[in-house]
Amino acid sequence: MQDINLTDLFVSLTGRLGLNYEFLATGYEAQIWRDGFITTLYLIALLIPVSLVAGLLFAAGLTSGRVWLSAPVRAFVEITRNTPTLVQLMFSFLVLNTFVSDLVGGAQNNPLSPFFWVVAVVGLHIAALHAEAIRAGIEAVPTSTVEAARGIGFSQLQILRYVEVPLALRASLPAIVNNLVNLVKLTTVGNAIAVSEITYASIMVWTQRDNVVSLMIVILLFFSLINIVVARVGLWVERRLAVPGYGL
């Protein structure tokens, strides 16, 4: 009862400002909108670790020194970062997903949902950007530091694990955090293939209520708040991983 009164109070107060949130008093539309927020948060929670792990693997491939490994990774990175994410998503969903459906005997047998394609495409797109940032960080590690590690008996794998990767990750953190901020914003491309994230849910509501301004204000505040949190956490991690005397 108390929740209903708070909702009515909110609708009444914002109504005096010319904003229309009357749909919050209806069960169906309010549920669609809440589910949109939750779906967006799920996407972000999945995409961040997916992009970081894939980015680290791509960076290892790029700096491996083995052409058979670095060449396909380089080709993927170039294609990914030079084409719009929305185009990649539409290609994956309309072409690759159709191909998978044909292989398994029809769309009814295809286990790959639109949600999966958003996670795969956006995750790998941001991973390609992470890979370039980490590769630059690895290449920025001073040769003298690597030689010193080799001089005390470190193997190539130990040098990579204990020297190059930690220093490279620290140097790459500002770029990685920027990529994660971009990742949060890119979750909205799911709208193009009917993934019911917050923008898709809002469109469903405002086509019935004609309250575009009211919903857009909330969406802008929602993404701004999430990205402020991502940036703050990134800054905290940068300070925690600071390397005294290394300039980072």
pLDDT at 248: 57
pLDDT at 3: 54
Residue partners of 122: CB distance under 8 A and separation at least 6: 43, 47, 51, 85, 89, 183, 186, 187, 189
Computed on alpha carbons and rounded to an integer, the radius of gyration of the chain in Å comes to 23
pLDDT at 247: 57
pTM: 0.88
pLDDT digits (tens, 9 = 90+) for 21-54: 998 888 888 999 999 999 999 999 999 999 999 9
pLDDT at 98: 93
Q: How close are the terminal C-alpha atoms of the chain, in Å?
A: 54
pLDDT at 245: 64
3-state secondary structure the chain: CHHHHHHHHHHHHHHHCCCCCHHHHCHHHHHHHHHHHHHHHHHHHHHHHHHHHHHHHHHHHHCCCCHHHHHHHHHHHHHHHCCCHHHHHHHHHHHHHHHHHHHCCCHHHCCCCHHHHHHHHHHHHHHHHHHHHHHHHHHCCCHHHHHHHHHCCCCHHHHHHHHHHHHHHHHHHHHHHHHHHHHHHHHHHHHHHCCCCHHHHHHHHHHHHCCHHHHHHHHHHHHHHHHHHHHHHHHHHHHHCCCCCCCC
| CA gap 22, 30 in Å, rounded | 9
Rounded to the nearest angstrom, the gap between the alpha carbon of residue 136 and the centroid of all alpha carbons in its chain is 21
pLDDT at 138: 86
Query: Which of the residues in the chain have pLDDT under 50?
Result: none
Closest Cα partner for 70 from 60, 81, 55, 83? 60
pLDDT at 175: 94
pLDDT at 2: 53
Domains located in the chain, CATH noted:
33-240 (1.10.3720.10)
Alpha carbons within 13 angstroms on the beta-carbon side of residue 241 total 16
pLDDT digits (tens, 9 = 90+) for 147-174: 888 888 888 778 878 888 888 888 899 9
| CA gap 92, 79 in Å, rounded | 14
